Homo-oligomer: A and B are copies of this chain.
Amino acid sequence: MEHTSFVVVDLLGTLAFAVSGAVAARQRHLDVFGVFAVAYVAACGGGIIRDLCLGSLPPVGMADWRYVACVAAVSAATIVAQPLLDRLERPIVFFDSLGLGFFAVVGAHKSLALGSNVEVALVLGTISGVGGGVLRDLLVNRVPVILEKEIYALAALAGASIQVIGALNGHSTFITPWVAAAVCLAIRSLAVRYSWSLPRT
């Protein structure tokens, strides 16, 4: 887990989800601690579920001060820089999509690194990606992003799959995580932009 690539990817995912959580909290006009709390749940929730399922305890989102510091910095910056964020049309969707790919990659990688099989890596990669967003939305009472009409969890599964395929071929660390996260972001962004969706039932 401690390979530099994954530390960077994990940090970027944490940053992106923390912004999505802080913006969601601001839209509900929570107080400053509420902004921090929702940002923390969005940024670390998926990773905590992942670590619980892998038995990697206590979860890194609690045990490593850098995550909490990162969330605190992002919360403060979001409050100050709100006018900037308001220029984005849908800031929650944008930062959520960014984090989705990063966390899908980290989830898949960490599962394999701790000895789990390919299936666990795919399932936990996907859950790591979508978990923080679902918890964030439950907490601020938004419709969970996973139920939106555009492709969402499937993009995370695509990112996790590329990471797993790379790892099985011995290319897990340098290029693969970035390709996997980029593919996930691309799928999700295009789906939102062009309203791609799977057939409804």
* Copies per complex of this chain: 3
Asked if A181 is at the interface of the complex by the 8 Å CB criterion, the answer is no
A190 to B30, CA, bound (A): 19
Asked if A123 is at the interface of the complex by the 8 Å CB criterion, the answer is yes
Q: Which of A91-99, A114-122, A165-173 is the contact stretch?
A: A114-122
Q: Which residues of chain B have C-beta atoms less than 8 A from A34's C-beta?
A: 146-147, 198
- The interface bits of chain A over 81-112 (1 if a CB of B lies within 8 angstroms of the residue's CB, else 0) are 01000000000000000000000000000010
Asked if A1 is at the interface of the complex by the 8 Å CB criterion, the answer is no
Asked if A37 is at the interface of the complex by the 8 Å CB criterion, the answer is yes
Contact assessment for B123 and A68 in the assembled complex, using a CB-CB cutoff below 8 Å: yes
Query: From residue A23, how far is it (CB to closest CB) to chain B in Å?
Result: 10
Contact assessment for A33 and B154 in the assembled complex, using a CB-CB cutoff below 8 Å: yes
A129 to B127, CA, bound (A): 22
Contact assessment for B153 and A65 in the assembled complex, using a CB-CB cutoff below 8 Å: no
